[in-house]
Amino acid sequence: MIVVVAPGQGSQTPGFLEPWLEDAALRDQLGAISEVAGIDLIKHGTVSDTDTIRDTAVAQPLIVAAGMLTLSALTAGDRRKHIGAVAGHSVGEITAAAAAGILTDDDAIRFVVERGSAMASAASLETTGMSAVIGGDEVALLELLAELGLQPANFNGGGQIVVAGALDALAKLAEQPLKGTRVVPLQVAGAFHTRFMQPAVAHLEAFAAGLDKHEPTLPIYTNRDGSLIESGEHYVDLLVGQVSSPVRWDLTMNSLVDAGVTGIIELAPAGALVGLAKRGLRGIPAVAVKTPEDLSAAFDLMEANA
């Protein structure tokens, strides 16, 4: 079974969409998405600098739009039939919702614009950040986080947990890391997937109530607990709650293994989830579709698993 996965925030880099937009059809598609979003995503995907595309309100729509473009190229012709399931990491869950037909592309873009704006507003209320902790004992780490007033935000599997909270507490964690761990500060604007994002939840609940939700046309797995979702309404409820709850990508990967995954293809801006798969799903082929040149390897993997 081939599983298509969509990455989350932090995977974008300046100019990453430039090679994709050499295709006139994809450029037109991104132009249409930009109109729905009310944001010039063509500019942000080609010429905007690092600080601009790190802004949560810009980064999240840009990442979802990139996933949509990649998916269009990946499923050209009848290749969609080779996809066995989809899953997304954090904001990538909105890309997955569109891929599975739970939300229309336009509604997915409208939702992510609201999400990015609401999370940016919540992040502005207190100065917070995130760091990746690699290695070490999970139980001991969680105990230390509680002592420091930090929270686990992403359980990524492969020995990586992203933690979030006040910057001074993150600094203490970096200065005196738990034995056997490495702490890497992340370039994000706030403590996402923690209690600090609670103000965004109420806003998104109200917005999501007006969206049309459809039953999934592809099997789709949630970050909440790694489970397979059968109700579009329930999935959108989880998207709202996900903003202030931890991403359990480790459980998502476990579920994919249980379901018989034989290959993973990551949509642009790709790389992070393939890296986690190589550590947490050893032996399962994975392709990061960063540029159009990577499509041939993805097609080969799809054909091999047909």
How many Å apart are CA 131 and CA 134, to the nearest integer? 10
Please classify residue 193 by burial: count the beta carbons closer than 10 Å to its beta carbon, then call 0-12 exposed, 13-18 middle and 19+ buried: buried
How many Å apart are CA 33 and CA 94, to the nearest integer? 14
Q: Position of tokens 């500060």?
A: 185
Catalytic-labelled residue, pool 11, 34, 48, 90: 90
Q: Position of tokens 């989350």?
A: 8
Q: Position of tokens 């709650």?
A: 241
Three-state DSSP class for residue 262: coil
Please classify residue 237 by burial: count the beta carbons closer than 10 Å to its beta carbon, then call 0-12 exposed, 13-18 middle and 19+ buried: middle
**Is 234 assigned a catalytic role?**
no
**Which residues are registered as beta bridge partners of 288?**
266
Q: In angstroms, how far is CA 43 from the centroid of its own chain?
A: 21
**Is 227 assigned a catalytic role?**
no
Catalytic-labelled residue, pool 44, 82, 193, 203: 193
How many Å apart are CA 305 and CA 298, to the nearest integer? 11
**Catalytic residue ranges:** 90, 193
